[in-house]
Structure 1
Amino acid sequence: MIELSTKSSPVASIIFAVLALLVISVAVLFILRYYLPLRTTPIELLIPVFFALWLPASMVLLVPIDLASSALADDIAARGIWLDRGTLRVSWRIVYWLTFALTWFILPILGEYFDSGYREPKAKLQDSLRANAQYYAFVFGSGFIALLYVLYSYGGFSDSLKGTAMALAYCWGLALAIYLMGHGLVAIPRRLFRNASISGKLRRIQAQAPKVYEKMEDAEMTLEDLEGQVSELSRRKGGSVTLFQGWIEELVDMTNLPESGPATARVVPGSGDTSKSLPTVITEKYLAELTRRLVRAKHARARYVSEWNRLLQDAVTTQVVLDSAASKKLDFGAASPEAGFWDKRTILTPYTRFLLYFHIAPYLRIGLGTILALGSICIVWSEVIKGLFPNLSAIRYSVIHHWQPGGPSKPVKVATLTGEDNGQVGFAGQVIAAIWMLYMCAAALTSITEVKVWRGRALVRRNTAPESAFWYASQVARLSVPLSYNFMTFLGGIYRETVFYDFLGQLIDLTSLGERFDHLFPAFILLPVCATLFGLYGMAKRKIGFGVDVIDDDDDGEGTNVYGTGSWREGRDLIERELNGTSATIRSRRAEAAARIAGGRAAPVISVPGSHRARGPTTPLGTSPNARPAANTSARRAGPSSRIQDDDEDEGFFGALGHRFKNTIDTMDTPKWFQDIKKPKWMGGDEEGGGSSRPSQGRTNSDVRRWFGGSSEGRIRL
């Protein structure tokens, strides 16, 4: 047994732990506020989602405390935040079993309950249980088989049922966590390296534009089709419709039909006669399915409108930063009303802001990417060798502090269970352990948001669908325990002395199969790491491509046509047309409809600037035309010349030289005395007055590229 010193009291550690939990609670509330409108969200949704995020976050605090409490030093100054084993055991039981109940029972049932289209609570609950029946049949079937194996291996029944449930939950969560974390460990540093190039970042944004715009249009058409069915349903009289008249009126209120009445509802072109899609007899099951599809379509439309709005904002900001290289000044102008608190504060001058965004920020991204890449290498290395050579784990030496005999510090005398070297986790080691755990969790959770094969679920700012909120919260809760225990296995034999091992680890190691799985399976992290590092997802999507969107960070749109859309050039033109207001009527109607989602809750509204080229892509989204002055217009006076210099790759040296001569002369103000000079007839002037054809604009109409044997269209002939 471990002999703990009783000379000191953990009162200070308890106070620190309570304050840390309060900070975690405030952080979780801010996260919920970012994705959900707190005032209009029902309490039965907020409380489960809050605990599904708060409990995993508390594990980041509880694991370092458990590590420091398992091997206390005689030197009080060397101790970190520690608690007695009884308090730790109670804490682990509460955290684990609440997380277990939320993951496997509460959140799935509530998610299907809110996703159900029925009106009555009893019908909603029955529909939720029916939807989860197949899921629970698979879970209980696998649990029964595993229980038989544990009974055969262990020979007893006292802890077999509980151990089987905990071991199965851990194994399933570990398999999912290893795959997602392996992808994230490569994707996060690579994204930082790629975003260090401003022009490359803009090109990737432009490459994503056609795909996002196409999905937004598909979501709009799907919603209009469903609204047409509701309109046709409301026009029916008599028969079975009279039994559900109140329900149908609620559906009409949910749609974006004109106020003049359902008879003038839109009919989607190419969708055929809407009345043919309605059944002859209207049943409760049909109305429930129609309600479910309508709610999902509204949230899908809100998701892609928000994604398109964010993409335009990123394109605007990146273009402004890129154009600031000419004037050495960067001015984003007045912030939009929807901007955050820090976005509305103006601290830096235009010149210092230019230095920060154009020169310093790329190097900061490269530096942070390098640090995270080294951290990813350490995590992958520790996963691969921990089963064979646990003493070679890089994370182990960064967390555990060892003292050698005769050194400056007194050796720690702790009766370890494994006979390994004595070690102590101090406060610095606890902070480092928390940072490692946060990075591992961030890598796994970032990958969840990038996988788009799970029924179109997504996190939308201020307008996340209830079913999506429950699903993402359940994934966070499911991954927290495997990642926490997997991190503790990096630390060698010291983790076997923790309360967490006594509570969970002994049940996982109950059979030889569970112990081998825990030590050998994490080595398979090399599969998602290599798949992400070498772009195997993109290759599989292009070769197989069943219309399924997989994790792929390599798809930059260059020369590919996977989604039926063009490359980054088409995205560039699409963004310019959108910012110039060429489809203002459609966007206005889409914005008004998005604002009515989910009973008038806050929704992402796309607001596009006017069509004046002077503001062009430098005007932020969501602001009025007079809210922001033109930024860096001196670098983009020539209209089409405002495009980035990616076009230079498609032309030769003389073509680029001609472009630069033309841009320089076109941006010069013509002197008044030069405008009065008449052109000779052989230079294309008329007999009466061959002056400048556009004197009012103060620019000549000549094209310097013709001097090199080219045409005004930009082609140079040698």
Structure 2
Amino acid sequence: MAKAVGSSIFFTVSLFVITGLVLLLLRYYLPLRTTPGYLLFPVFLALALPSSIVLLVPIDLASNAGTDTGTARGIWLPERALLVAWRISYWLTFLLTWIALPLLGEYSDSGYREPKDRFLYSLRSNGRYQLMVVSTASLGAVYFFLSEGFHFLSLKALAMALAYTWGLILAIYLMGHGLVALPKRLFRDACISGRLRRLQSHAPKIHEKLTDATDDLAQYEQQVFQLKQRKNGTAKEYREWIDDLAELASTPENRITASAAVLPSSRPTVPQVITERYLADLSRLLKRARHKKMRYLSEWEHLIQNATRMQTILDSYTTKRLDFGSPPPYASRFEKLTILTPYLRFILHSTVIPGVYYTASAITVLASMGIVWSEVIKSISPKLSVIGLTVVHHSDTSRGQIGFAGQCIAAAWLCYMCACALWSITEFKAWGNRALVRRATYEESACWYAGQVAKLTVPLSYNFTTMMKRDVSEATVFHSFLGVLVDLTPLGKGVSRWFPCLVMVPVVMSLFGLYGKIKEWFGFGDWIDEEDEIGGWREGRNLIDREVRGQGASLGLTPRVEGSRDTSLDIERPRPGGTIPAASTRPSSSRPARVGRPERQRLVQPDGEDGGDEEAEEGNFFTDFARRVKNTLDTNMDTPVWFTKPKWMGGDEEGGGGDSSATAGLSRWFGRPPDGRLRL
């Protein structure tokens, strides 16, 4: 009994540690004081519960396959306590994943003012998603009821098996990609010059996305300005709403008035009749545009800071002395420490840190190979699984044994599997405008990312237990709670046993760079960042140099000084990088020209400023000739005259302040889908 008390205390303390780490993570990505409590608490649970599952799986394994000696048994809990913990963790995670977080995400993304209207909008927006879920469940219900009969157990098994199957499909693909991408990223980041080259090659893409986001925000701010001028001619109940929109835009009127003359004639205009639907759509699109600009602004500042640090490290190889200067105000406490001398700092960044990267890359490569081998061999011979051999301690007895060391190894395996799956989410670009931004993450994005964490952890955790001997995995409470219902039908048992073998598909695609071929064949290659593409690094180098010297980073942004407040986004943003001189604050006069987008360029550029200060990119005759041909094609052949969209593709849609989605048929019942989003 004393041993169980000690394990209970350890488990309780571990839960408090997990809670503290989750709170620190939320504080890093969300402003805790301004985030609503109805949003903050579900997001916290969606992160804390999966983290507790990672802790619960090794305890469940040791509780039912412990060693014979009490001193080496490890952390264990009684069967009843484990069952209660699994029920609470699983069903709360299930409700958050499939019901609460999707509703809260659309509720926070709604442009309506009243809570009732926002909730109805959330129901309509999720109606199509829930209809797809119910349709899939109906097909599964037919199979379940024919196989097992209609009773409560079959209904419960249907819900758990479908949720597990969909989560397993997504988790296996994401994990397979991460098993290759993560070690490759660690290996490449160990080389300082190669890392700087990749940062330079990514700079033009991020710079162009930032200019596009700035242009989009300027368009919506211009609509708000026009709407404010017509405020007195609208209904009385809309005037306060318009004032709130004007305060949200917070754009100086002189800059908007100056840019109004150069806006293209095809831009959306304010309709003659102002409706509640139009104001809600404009509010939602304005919020998305503001956070999209903040997203790419944060990426751009982070890239400039990293590129400056990499260049400083390379320059220090001649003097053997490294000094980054004064750290930025938002730097971590570790970066603000000055206990190292310039020479020791040079040794740390030139030798020690690259060595750590190479070591971590080698360890993750071995771990990835062990996971892939275990996934493939478990359906044939579970005794040969690398994970099973490292976690389960074999002795003279016939049954497997797991002690404290095996629990630590199991937790490490499970954390690495989840890390690879979650890492791949940042690599794919099929999630629309969703992104994690330091202290400025959009509320809808926070709900979505928390939902993905909750959705992927449970299938990966159960899949992890199946990579051990069956007498060990089937003895756990987790198997009696979830595994029995998943294996209730032959189809479910086959999916759980054989589908993880398909992890080889994303592994081979990532290992041999087949995404480039997919991009050529189907046009889906833009979903994933190709790190092998280093074209355009000279242009990126010029952009970074102009940003550091303060000569050309003009994106229509208000100049910011240290500790100032960005009035266009109403979020405190300090200057990037302590190594960048004071002159690197962003001017707002001119911006470098962008290829193939002349109409968007005229949107923000003042008259007479054509980006003449742009430096000529280095290149030979063939490069210059190819660039001129590409500019001609992109400028004159963006939209062929002979092509007309059919009605089912939205060809008759008119650009207004709202979403550009068809409202015919079932769309009238469930609202319009968000722009560029993929519901998972």
Shorter-normalised TM-score: what interval?
Answer: 0.7 to 0.9
User: How many Å separate the matches in 2 of 1:605 and 1:296?
Assistant: 22
Task: Tell me the equivalent position of 2:265.
Answer: 272
Residue deviations 1:446-493 (CA, integer Å, cap 9, x gap): 111221221210000000000000000000000010010011111121
Q: CA deviation at 1:608?
A: 7.9
Q: What do residues 345-365 of structure 1 show as CA deviations (whole Å, max 9, x unaligned)?
A: 112211111112112222221
The answer to whether the 8 Å contact 1:509/1:515 transfers is yes
Note if contact 1:181-1:444 (Cα within 8 Å) is conserved in structure 2.
Answer: yes
Give the whole-Å Cα distance in 1 for the aligned partners of 2:283 and 2:552: 30
Q: Which residue of 2 aligns with 1:482?
A: 459
2:43 maps to 1:12: no
- The answer as to whether partners of 1:608 and 1:621 remain within 8 angstroms in 2 is no
Residue identity opposite 2:533 in structure 1: D
2:549 aligned with 1:580, yes or no? yes
Question: How much does 1:138 deviate?
Answer: 0.9
Give 1:565-604 correspondences, 5 Å limit: 567-583=536-552, 586=555, 589=558, 591=560, 595-596=566-567, 600-602=570-572, 604=573
One-letter amino acid of the structure 2 residue matched with residue 353 of structure 1: R
CA distance in 2, matches of 1:185, 1:72: 30
Contact 2:474 2:480 in 1 (8 A): yes
- Cα distance in 1 for residues equivalent to 2:299 and 2:90: 36
- For residues 169 and 583 of structure 2, what CA distance do their matches in structure 1 show? 43
More moved, 145-154 vs 118-127: 145-154
Segments of structure 1 that go 5 or more residues without pairing to the other structure are 1-6, 405-410, 412-420, 559-566, 610-617, 626-646, 651-718
Q: Please tell me whether the aligned partners of residues 258 and 265 of structure 1 are also in contact (alpha carbons under 8 angstroms).
A: no
Distance, in Å, in 2 between the alignment partners of 1:229 and 1:648 is 42
Structure 1 CA distance for aligned equivalents of residues 436 and 583 of structure 2:
21
Assess if the C-alpha contact under 8 Å between 1:302 and 1:594 holds in 2.
no
* Among 429, 442, 447, the residue aligned to 1:470: 447
Name which of 77, 90, 93 aligns with 1:96.
Answer: 90
CA–CA separation in structure 2 for the residues paired with 1:294 and 1:9 = 58
Instruction: State how far apart, in whole Å, the 2-side matches of 1:259 and 1:268 are.
Output: 13
Q: Which residue of 2 aligns with 1:362?
A: 354
Deviation (angstroms), 1:402: 0.8
- Where do 1:445-594 residues align within 5 Å? 445-493=422-470, 494-545=472-523, 549-558=526-535, 567-583=536-552, 586=555, 589=558, 591=560
AA matched with 1:572: R
After TM superposition, list the pairs within 5 Å mapping 1:330-479 onto structure 2.
330-404=322-396, 411=397, 421-479=398-456
CA distance in 2, matches of 1:195, 1:532: 17
* AA partner of residue 425 (structure 1): I
Q: Per-residue CA shift, 1:641-699, capped at 9, x if unaligned?
A: xxxxxx9999xxxxxxxxxxxxxxxxxxxxxxxxxxxxxxxxxxxxxxxxxxxxxxxxx
SS in 2 for 1:456: coil
Q: Distance in 1 between matches of 2:151 and 2:67?
A: 39
User: Cα distance 1:591–1:215, how it changes in 2: closer, same or farther (>3 A)?
Assistant: farther
Task: String of CA shifts for 1:105-135, please: whole Å, max 9, x gaps.
Answer: 0000000000000000000000000000011
Q: Tell me which structure has the larger Cα radius of gyration.
A: 1
The equivalent residue for 1:36 is 30
* Displacement of 1:573: 0.8
- The residue aligned with 1:283 is 275
Q: Whole-Å Cα distance in 1 between the matches of residues 266 and 585 of structure 2?
A: 41
> CA shift at 1:532, angstroms?
0.9
Aligned 1:67-146 pairs, distance under 5 A = 67-146=61-140
* Residue number among 315, 321, 327 corresponding to 2:319 in the alignment: 327
> In structure 2, what is the Cα distance between the partners aligned to 1:621 and 1:13?
55
Instruction: Quote the Cα distance in structure 2 between the aligned partners of 1:371 and 1:648.
Output: 40
Partner residue, 1:311: 303
Question: Retained in 1: the 8 A contact 2:385–2:468?
Answer: yes
CA distance in 2 between counterparts of 1:225 and 1:146 reads 47
TM superposition shift of 1:623: 9.2
Deviation at 1:342, TM superposition (A): 1.1
Percent of paired sites with the same residue: 50
CA–CA distance in structure 2, aligned partners of residues 231 and 291 of structure 1: 13
Give the aligned residue type for 1:595: D
Q: Map residues 233-272 of structure 1 onto 2, 5 A cutoff.
A: 233-236=227-230, 238-258=232-252, 264=257, 266-267=259-260, 269-272=262-265
Code of the residue aligned with 2:39 in structure 1: it is L
* C-alpha contact 1:28 1:54 (8 A) present in aligned 2: yes
SS of residue matched to 2:527:
coil
Q: How does 1:606-685 map to 2 (within 5 A)?
A: 606-607=575-576, 618-619=579-580
Q: Tell me if structure 1 keeps the 8 A contact 2:304–2:577.
A: no
Offset at residue 193 of structure 1 (A):
0.9
2:231–2:242 Cα contact (<8 Å) kept: no
Residue of structure 1 in register with 2:663 after alignment: none
Structure 2 counterpart of 1:26 = 20
Separation of aligned partners in 2, 1:53 and 1:535 = 32
After superposition, the Cα gap between the structure-2 partners of 1:31 and 1:307, relative to the gap in structure 1 and judged at 3 Å, is same
Residue 558 of structure 2 aligns with an amino acid whose one-letter code is R
The equivalent residue for 2:285 is: 293
In 2, are the aligned partners of 1:225 and 1:268 still within 8 Å (CA)? no
**Distance in 2 separating the partners of 1:46 and 1:159:** 34
Q: Is the 8 A contact 2:321 2:342 kept in 1?
A: yes
Task: Give the conservation status (yes or no) of the 8 Å contact 2:97–2:451.
Answer: yes
Among 171, 175, 187, the alignment partner of 2:169 is: 175
User: What is the distance in 1 between the residues matched to 2:395 and 2:545?
Assistant: 63
The answer on whether the counterparts of 1:591 and 1:607 sit within 8 Å (CA) in structure 2 is no
**Distance in structure 2 (CA, Å) of the matches to 1:68 and 1:463:** 41
1-structure distance, mates of 2:381, 2:127: 44
| Partner amino acid, structure 2, of 1:619 | I
Aligned amino acid, residue 328 of structure 1: K
Once the two structures are TM-superposed, the CA of residue 512 in structure 1 deviates from its matched residue by: 0.4
CA–CA distance in structure 1, aligned partners of residues 185 and 218 of structure 2:
37
Q: Secondary structure at the match of 2:259?
A: coil
After superposition, the Cα gap between the structure-2 partners of 1:469 and 1:268, relative to the gap in structure 1 and judged at 3 Å, is farther
Q: Counterparts of 1:587 and 1:326 in 2: how far apart (Å)?
A: 39
Q: Relative contact order, CA 8 A, sep 6+: which one is greater? A: 2
Residues 569 and 164 of structure 1, relative CA distance in 2, 3 Å threshold: same
Aligned 8 A contact 2:302 2:576 in 1: no
Q: How many residues align?
A: 588
Q: Which aligned pairs between 1:141-152 and structure 2 lie closer than 5 A?
A: 141-152=135-146
Is the 8 Å Cα contact of residues 112 and 131 (structure 1) preserved in structure 2?
Answer: yes
Alpha-carbon deviations, 1:560-614, whole Å to 9, x = none? xxxxxxx10110011101111113665651659982466x344x444588xxxxx
